[in-house]
Amino acid sequence: MGNYAFGVDIGGTTVKMGLFDREGCVLDKWEIPTVKDNEGASVLPDVAQSILAKMKEKNLELDDLEGIGIGVPGAVDKEGNLVNGAVNIGWKSFNIPKVMNAYINVPVKAANDANSAAFGEMWQGGGKGYTNMVAVTLGTGVGGGIIVNGEIVTGVTGAAGEIGHIHIEDGETDICGCGNRGCLEQYASATGVVRLAKRRLAQDDKPSVLREGSLTAKTVFDAVKDGDEVAVEIAERFGSYLGKGLAAVANVVNPEVFVIGGGVSKAGEILMDFIEPELQKYVFPASRNVKLALAQLGNDAGIYGAAGLILCEV
């Protein structure tokens, strides 16, 4: 049994990599470019070469390695098979551990990158100490990662945790990226907050700092912190939608904690003031003890989670 693992987070532009010890400390982290030519055929060989070079640098033998965890931008089944390919990096479907083992013969576990990031937050981030957790990523869209008893719930087509597409508003006229109307993502993502802001500002002429300069989720929540009344109204709408959506999620899996990450979460604890009361209003009473926490690992969540697939003992 080795004392180290590599965590690999394959993105469309770069592959993030980290060397972790059993306690979950990252000993080194670095990036290599993602070479997408030839259906991404060199991505895994490049990863393997980079790991072998790092092992040499650190004087690590194969026996020192517990394994390699890999987060990939596509659906992965329990056996580590990529289910529907990964279009962003040109991959078709194949068995990831099998391909990796041609280069480095240690245990390899693969997972979807969003789920891997969720797992990282459970292992060493905002969800540390919990084993029933839902990660909520408020970025360009709204993503989710469901963890039950310390295990990632992938769903049958890898679509578990698509909480951004819970229908939350009957009156919506705009179409969501998924083709439906009224999805949570249309109100609680970074772009959703801007949509809410534009709609609110168009309603009347009430003064607001948001009427000048650029309109982003950041400027909205900055204005909230400055007490801007219009911004507070926008944040209340945001909180109402998100609280309602998270209540639905809690009524399905009854988690201990929601860990909120992604760009919008950089607003910090003030987010909770708007989400918490609405979550409490709509959730089933026996699930009211669910906590809200901020994600802590930022862009490193993926490498933590990938290493955690190997090292985390729940």
Nearest to 142 by CA among 97, 183, 93: 183
Neighbours of 313 (CB within 10 A): 7
Residue 167 structure tokens: 């229908």
Which of the ranges 64-72, 141-149, 203-211, 298-306 carries the binding residues for its own copies, by CB under 8 A?
141-149
**Residue 71 or residue 161: which is nearer to its own copies going by CB?**
161
Using CB under 8 A, pick the residue from 61, 156, 174, 313 that binds its own copies.
156
Total residues contacting its own copies by CB under 8 A comes to 41
Three-state SS for 221? helix
Identify residues 163-222 at the interface with its own copies (CB under 8 A). 163, 165-167, 178-180
Identify residues 238-257 at the interface with its own copies (CB under 8 A). 244, 247-249, 251-256
Element (H, E) at 8: strand 4-10
Which of the ranges 155-163, 229-237, 262-270, 306-314 carries the binding residues for its own copies, by CB under 8 A?
155-163
Question: Using the rule CB under 8 A, is 112 a contact of its own copies?
Answer: no
Which of the ranges 5-13, 42-50, 116-124, 145-153 carries the binding residues for its own copies, by CB under 8 A?
145-153
Three-state SS for 114? helix
Using CB under 8 A, pick the residue from 13, 105, 157, 299 that binds its own copies.
157
Question: Using the rule CB under 8 A, is 144 a contact of its own copies?
Answer: yes
Which of the ranges 24-32, 60-68, 140-148, 223-231 carries the binding residues for its own copies, by CB under 8 A?
140-148
Parallel, antiparallel or unpaired: strands 65-72 and 108-112: parallel
Alpha helices per DSSP H over the chain: 37-40, 43-57, 96-101, 113-124, 185-188, 190-203, 217-225, 229-253, 270-282, 301-311
Three-state SS for 128? coil
Helix axes 217-225, 270-282, angle to 10 degrees: 100
CB of 274 to its own copies, least distance (A): 17
303 contacts 9 by C-beta, under 8 angstroms: yes
Cα–Cα distance between 203 and 183 in angstroms, integer?
22
Question: Using the rule CB under 8 A, is 42 a contact of its own copies?
Answer: no
Using CB under 8 A, pick the residue from 51, 111, 136, 160 that binds its own copies.
160
**Residue 144 or residue 239: which is nearer to its own copies going by CB?**
144
**Residue 213 or residue 285: which is nearer to its own copies going by CB?**
285
Cα–Cα distance between 19 and 7 in angstroms, integer?
6
Question: Using the rule CB under 8 A, is 136 a contact of its own copies?
Answer: no
Parallel, antiparallel or unpaired: strands 14-21 and 26-33: antiparallel
Instruction: Please give the C-alpha separations between residue 295 and each of 176, 209, 256, in angstroms, as whole numbers.
Output: 26, 29, 15
Question: Using the rule CB under 8 A, is 154 a contact of its own copies?
Answer: yes
CB of 194 to its own copies, least distance (A): 23
**Residue 224 or residue 292: which is nearer to its own copies going by CB?**
292
Residues of the shown chain interacting with its own copies in the complex, contacts defined by CB under 8 A: 78, 132, 144, 146, 148-149, 153-163, 165-167, 178-180, 244, 247-249, 251-256, 281-287, 289
